Chain A
């Protein structure tokens, strides 16, 4: 599903250049649930942004679902993001003047899905994250956990190949975090590929594979026994 070879990325900081990713090699199969771990500054978010085409790499190869991702202009990148990727952010990033249903329907709008079908699909995904009754509420009327669930529903609505989650539980308390992870696990159970960036051990162990990053290189890549979040919920 994802194939990365010798990926480099550096940021210009005035006259200095900060080398963030120093040759990353990484593959990810269909249906995997991967945690990308590392301390802050290890380059994990940068990696996720490049995978999400929100940022470009300096050199290296990136193949997503058999499509080489390179020399993208903004229009092309937007189309690929719309087709391949769903995003979940630490700060939710919901549009504050749209209600839950409209937020979930947004990627479908950019897929040019008809209005009626859009509404149906969005409502369906809201139901799956358990927020059908909250469809007409604005983000400001929702709790943190509810907002993140809306964001997950939105990411899933476009039926992406890969779901990218950047610290999805970073702004939530542990109880809510487990609820969100439970949801992510269930989505993975249905066969979706998910990458989660986190620096929390317990969250990482709820995935099936942990990739450790330190100073821009992968130092460890292991498959683990998944801890089900379900047991922490209730």
Chain B
């Protein structure tokens, strides 16, 4: 079946029937091409999605204070709960083994000015651990450190886009900026994968913020990073214990839906991953539909090809070709064409995916690094070849079985 003669016969049929070969090959190549690009785009969409939601650390619990709704422990309802510096210390003391780091966050929007340039920016007063919870990347200088906290320094770490807005080409390190009426020295510039908004923040020591606001010890929000080794179940347990501890400390009813709220990033992450999973499922569904329509396309072409060759098959049978040899030759021919064009389609698809990568696609269509795993591409190509062969087998077998006299009469 795989003799040189058989192949010569096949190549001759291919070479001398260029239109037929092209039509079959084109269908296959197009099917694979669409699949590869579509699937790659889907992956790109998924990448963007993961980037949006995956820029923060995942071992984070955020504690937010709010008004109580249930009278409890001698207090009336509608009492505003406030966090204080001592809360940070107490949490740290009680859960030392479970905690990686802990940081407060006090957010204020203030007018920032440097020379002629000024704008409103969101300042976040934090502790050094905040750098890890936001995965902040330092480009120049340094982040807030423990000394800054102790000495209540007026130092600021500014986002890459603030640097661009205010300093243009100037080096901002060591320069003084006016932050809501106080002069702050810029000690660092950062970037963040979370997008433009994240790069228009400014970080200052939280103790400095408290000093500026009348030397208080209030904290807006507490961010606790737990030890990652405790796992997802451990995190949930820790969240419950922390909730219990804080409610006791702040005298809030255990049944109060408000008063204190803990956001677990691990929960968010799980939800996001589910959403991404659904996205992937939809893309896979579409890709599958493309493959199905590709197979139907090949079947149609094959049906046409075999129909067109009925008379030739009749002649060959009169010359002594057995049905097996006829089916075999047609099958080999179709597998050969499908394989060659299938891989051409696959490679063109991958080249297109590589070619369209870039900023425009990322910013306008939310597609980051569109790509398809080579294994998937090869698997689908082989799948299409196999389906194409099955699609070719049915009409080929039928044609090989009809009486030569009927085939010869076919015009």
Query: Which residues of A are in contact with B by a Cβ distance under 8 Å?
Result: 49, 52, 54-56, 74-75, 78-79, 81-83, 87, 89, 93-95, 97-98, 102, 106-107, 109-111, 115, 154, 158
Contact = CB atoms under 8 A, between A and B. Distances in A.
A195 to B, nearest CB: 15
A110 B318 contact: no
Interface residues of B, number: 28
A68 to B, nearest CB: 19
B17 interface: yes
18 contacts: A54-B403, A54-B405, A55-B405, A74-B317, A74-B322, A74-B323, A74-B401, A79-B320, A89-B408, A93-B315, A93-B318, A93-B408, A94-B315, A97-B13, A98-B12, A106-B319, A110-B316, A110-B322
Contacts of B404: 54
Contact of B315 (A55, A56, A95): A95
B325 A87 contact: no
Contacts of A107: 319-320
B400 A54 contact: no
Given A79-B320, A109-B5, A110-B321, A49 B17 contact: no
Given A93-B318, A107-B319, A158-B320, A115 B405 contact: no
B322 A154 contact: no
Contacts of B4: 115
A111 B325 CA distance: 12
Interface in B9-65: 9, 12-13, 16-17
Contacts of B148: none
A115 B5 contact: yes
Contacts of A94: 315
A29 B356 CA distance: 77
Most buried by A among B17, B315, B401: B315
Most buried by A among B323, B403, B404: B404
Closest 4 CB pairs of A and B: A82-B320, A97-B16, A54-B405, A110-B320
Contact of B322 (A75, A95, A102, A115): A75
A110 B405 contact: no
Nearest to A53: B404
A81 B320 contact: yes
Contacts of B5: 109, 115
Contacts of B321: 78, 82, 110
Given A106-B316, A158-B319, 13 more contacts: A55-B403, A74-B323, A78-B317, A78-B323, A79-B320, A81-B318, A82-B321, A98-B16, A106-B315, A109-B9, A110-B321, A111-B320, A154-B319
B312 to A, nearest CB: 6
A94 B316 CA distance: 10
A106 B314 CA distance: 13
B324 interface: yes
Contacts of A97: 12-13, 16-17
Interface string B284-320: 0000000000000000000000000001101111111
Interface of B is mostly: helix
B282 to A, nearest CB: 46
Contacts of B9: 109
Contacts of B314: 93
B319 A54 contact: no
A98 B315 CA distance: 12
Contacts of B324: 75
Contact of A82 (B8, B17, B319, B323): B319
B373 to A, nearest CB: 42
A42 B318 CA distance: 23
A161 B311 CA distance: 25
Nearest to B405: A54
Given A54-B405, A82-B320, A83-B320, A110 B325 contact: yes
Most buried by B among A74, A79, A93, A94: A74
Contacts of B400: 74
A81 B316 CA distance: 11
Contacts of B401: 74
Contacts of A82: 319-321
A55 B403 CA distance: 7
Contacts of A81: 317-320
Contacts of A154: 319
Contact of B318 (A74, A75, A87, A102): A87
A137 to B, nearest CB: 14
A188 B406 CA distance: 29
Interface string B375-411: 0000000000000000000000000110111001000
Contacts of A95: 312, 315-316
A54 B312 contact: no
